[in-house]
Amino acid sequence: MHLENYPLSGKEDHLRRFQYTWFNIFPSWFEYLPSKDAAYCLPCYLFSKKPSGRLGSDVFIATGFKSWRKVNNGKNCAFLKHIGKDPCSPHNNAMRVFQDLLNQNCHIRNVFHVQSLDQIMKNRLRLKTSIDMVRYLSLQACALRGHDETSESRNQGNFLEMIKLIASYNDEVAKVVLENAPYNSKYTSHKIQKEILNILSSKVKNHIREEVGDSKFCIIVDEARDESKKEQMALILRFVDKNGFIQERFFDIVHVKNTTTLTLKNELCVVLSRHNLNVSNIRGQGYDSASNMRGEWNGLEALFLNDCPYAYYVHCFAHRLQLALIAASREVISIHQFFSKLTFILK
């Protein structure tokens, strides 16, 4: 602190006072307290450990230095003695900690920020690897999960085995996936796989919806029971794109509680409305020949015709071909016996 006149102290014949020029000589640590007319070392005051026990070791920390006659004393200057010649002296150690405090790059907030950025980049690479694996296996119509995905398994399923393969060729990926990933963010669980599939499915359906636009379209529907004994209904959209070409897009597959006509219609309407596809724009229906699908009065065909009179029904060509082959094979005994035995073996 700069004062016009610093108080005098000492013997009457050798009165001395604090000199403001000392701030310029020791600018990094020197402090003056007017109320005590004493000098202090700010870094040592903040960060110095317990005094060493040596006489006067705490003078710049607790009591304050005021022996001004010991300052201009050459090598024996009290300030130089306080600093010390050893780089690891208490003052120099405190100075390093003090400089770290002033250095913004060493603040704990910045350290956490750097660590957070590094963790974010690792998480992104780890998640990107899982997304790429799910997308590739889905494109190839391959199963993701294995029968045994434990660490001792020789085949953990396509998803985990593909990640292992990629990691063996890419060191950056190998550093962040599987065993090198945190336990709570591996991004390989069954739940994560399903979430990624749902997101990819939504993006595909949104793209198909953009292709359809405001055009009229046909619906092709079939239902079957899967291995888990659940009824699944598949929906295909047939439409003319902007370039005038006919397109058929597999749009959705829905679990239905039963195969009654009303249930199927309600589920179809939910799917269409969810993607802003107007039922009144349907210009064709394609189903198999089951009574609940093509019934003239109570079939799915009839219900949609009530809402949209231009939704003409066409018997699915694939099912018609199947029925024709079955009828033809019954006329040839050897072929009929072959398919009968094959059906018996498969069931």
Residue whose C-alpha is closest to residue 310's, from 212, 209, 211, 216: 216
pTM: 0.58
* Predicted pLDDT of residue 105: 67
Q: How confident is the model at residue 194 (pLDDT cuts 50, 70, 90)?
A: very high
Mean pLDDT of 275-295: 79
Give the model confidence (pLDDT) of 195-215 as tens digits: 999 999 999 999 999 998 888
Rounded distance between C-alpha atoms, residue 230 and residue 257, angstroms: 8
Q: What is the DSSP letter of 72?
A: S
User: Residue 303: what residue type?
Assistant: L
Question: Looking at the domain that runs over 209-315, which CATH code has it been given?
Answer: 3.30.420
Mean pLDDT of 216-232: 84
* Predicted pLDDT of residue 41: 85
Backbone torsions φ then ψ of 86, nearest 5 degrees: -75, 130
Rounded distance between C-alpha atoms, residue 79 and residue 67, angstroms: 11
Q: Are 303 and 265 in contact (CB under 8 A)?
A: yes
Mean pLDDT of 153-168: 88
* Predicted pLDDT of residue 117: 77
Domain residue ranges in the chain: 8-102, 119-188, 209-315
Average predicted confidence (pLDDT) for the chain: 81
Give the model confidence (pLDDT) of 23-62 as tens digits: 777 777 778 888 788 888 878 877 777 665 565 567 777 7
Q: Is the torsion defined by CA of 11, 15, 19, 25 positive or negative?
A: negative
Tokens of 302: 């009839």
User: Residue 254: what residue type?
Assistant: V
Query: Per-residue pLDDT for 179 more than 90?
Result: no
Tokens of 65: 């230095």
User: Residue 347: what residue type?
Assistant: K
Rounded distance between C-alpha atoms, residue 132 and residue 155, angstroms: 20
Mean pLDDT of 216-220: 90
* Predicted pLDDT of residue 43: 81
* Predicted pLDDT of residue 107: 64
Query: Per-residue pLDDT for 297 more than 70?
Result: no
User: Residue 233: what residue type?
Assistant: M
Rounded distance between C-alpha atoms, residue 124 and residue 1, angstroms: 53
